[in-house]
Amino acid sequence: MIKTLQKSAKTEEEALRLALEELGLTRDDVSVEIVERAKSGFLGLGATPATISVSYEVADVKTDRVREFLAGLIERFGAQADIEASDEVDGTVSVVLSGSEPGALIGRRGETLDAIQHLTNYAVNRGGGGRLRINIDAENYRQRRGDTLEALAAKTAAKVLKYRRSITLDPMNAYERHVIHTALQENEGVSTHSVGSEPNRRVVVAYGKSGEEQQSFRPRERRPERREPSAPRPEPVVSEEPVYEAEIEESAETAENTQYREWK
């Protein structure tokens, strides 16, 4: 990790000497940049001191612990990967894993990569001394997955607005749910919330900012056409004689032909 220290004195040489004494370093351990040169002024009036900026490298203990833990974890995993860890910036260390078999490090929907990240965060922050956030990626998977989730969020929101119904997505981890929530937070027509418990927690995309479902509009029913009343049919003659199966079929056929002639 590179840090800087500014020092002011009457001359550049004196400012550098004071900086080295404060840091306990030698001239070979630092890089020096002159911010402002000393000015003597006129008759001692308007004189300004010299200001220098000294850059020096400080060992980042937690970043080294991240590399060490990941190397051991991946070795036990039976995989091989190059570990590139950045210096800590605002309490965050970004790690990129690269190797010949990135799929083994990513897993299905990034589940293996998420597990590696979770274990690393737990192991490095277990000893206290200020919490460090560790983001681990492999073959730019996070960015590609984020783009896919944002496209899914937009497509789902369009369906919710079209059908005015809430849609529940498949289970997602915390990072993926965060991507969905962030992608739709500016959409005035929908709202999002999570339901369920891990590992089956899901995002619900609801219609309207209130999250209330509304029934979709139904097409207006057409009224039946008005028809003139037909002439009453003659009442059937009731016979007291027994009727057999063959007679029923013959009577039905005769009645059907008779009605057909009448309607025609």
Q: What are the angstrom distances between the C-alpha of 132 and each of 50, 142, 254?
A: 37, 19, 92
pLDDT per position as a tens digit, 11-32: 888 888 888 888 888 888 888 8
Q: Is the pLDDT confidence value at 255 over 60?
A: no
Average pLDDT of span 215-241: 49
In tens, the pLDDT along 52-97 reads 888 877 655 677 888 888 999 888 878 888 898 887 777 888 999 9
Query: What pLDDT is attached to residue 244?
Result: 37
Q: Mean pLDDT, to the nearest integer, of 89-111?
A: 85
What confidence score (pLDDT) does residue 133 get?
87
**Separation CA 95–CA 127 (nearest Å):** 20
DSSP-based three-state secondary structure for 66: helix
Closest CA to 181 of 155, 149, 213: 149
Q: Which residues contact 253 (CB under 8 A, 6 or more apart)?
A: none
* Whole-prediction pTM: 0.52
How many other CB atoms are there within 10 angstroms of residue 220's CB atom?
Answer: 6
Answer for the pair 194, 206: CB distance below 8 angstroms, yes or no.
no
Q: What DSSP state is assigned to residue 70?
A: H
pLDDT band at 238 (very low <50, low <70, confident <90, very high): very low
Contact criterion met (CB below 8 Å) for 167 and 156: yes
Query: What are the residues facing 192 on neighbouring strands?
Result: 205
Residue with token string 């009224």: 223
